[in-house]
């Protein structure tokens, strides 16, 4: 646990949250800043700052719970779609440095991810990038 981490304080019961699910590994609660109704966070109870430090089996479990949350949001909030979003480091818009996954219901014209505008890359660039990634795996 990190005593300065807001999510660790929520896990410890030192700060309130609107809990939707909890087990021995994860906590699921409503994001304080609801981008759309039902915007949920899935966090591990153990403090890991980001994707680089969390063990693979824990990432898998958080993803499984995130999928369950997405299906429940689909049933209960009737969105047109759902995003599962996970940010790492300030350049990727991470603001709380405790690994977490946003599960965000999406609706027509909600303009939530308007920042994501990219142009297509050439096959040569895609293949070069794939080779570079392969070397790191």
pLDDT tens digits in sequence order for the chain, 137 residues long: 899 999 999 999 999 999 999 999 999 999 988 889 999 999 999 999 999 999 999 999 999 999 999 999 999 999 999 999 999 999 999 999 999 999 999 999 888 766 556 667 788 877 878 888 888 88
> Alpha-carbon distance 86 to 59, whole Å?
11
> Domain limits of the chain?
6-136
Catalytic, 102? Answer: no
Place of tokens 């699910």: 21
Distance CA 78, CA 137 (A): 38
The answer to whether 15 and 54 are in contact (CB under 8 A) is no
6-136 homologous superfamily: HIT-like (3.30.428.10)
**Dist CA 97 CA 103 (whole Å):** 17
Q: Which of the following is catalytic: 39, 47, 100, 102?
A: 100
| Residue labelled with tokens 């590994």 | 25
């Amino acid at each position: 646990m990190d005593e300065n981490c807001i999510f660790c304080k929520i896990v410890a019961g030192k700060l309130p949250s609107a809990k939707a699910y909890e087990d021995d590994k994860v906590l699921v609660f409503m994001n304080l800043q609801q981008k759309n109704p039902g915007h949920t966070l899935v966090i591990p109870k153990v403090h890991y700052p980001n994707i680089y430090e969390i063990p693979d089996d824990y990432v898998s479990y958080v993803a499984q719970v995130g999928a369950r949350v997405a299906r429940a949001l689909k049933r209960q909030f009737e969105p047109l779609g759902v995003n599962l979003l996970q940010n790492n480091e300030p350049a990727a818009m991470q603001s709380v440095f405790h690994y977490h996954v946003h599960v965000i219901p999406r609706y027509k014209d909600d303009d939530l991810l308007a920042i994501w505008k990219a142009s297509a890359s050439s096959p040569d660039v895609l293949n070069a990038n794939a080779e570079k990634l392969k070397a790191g795996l």
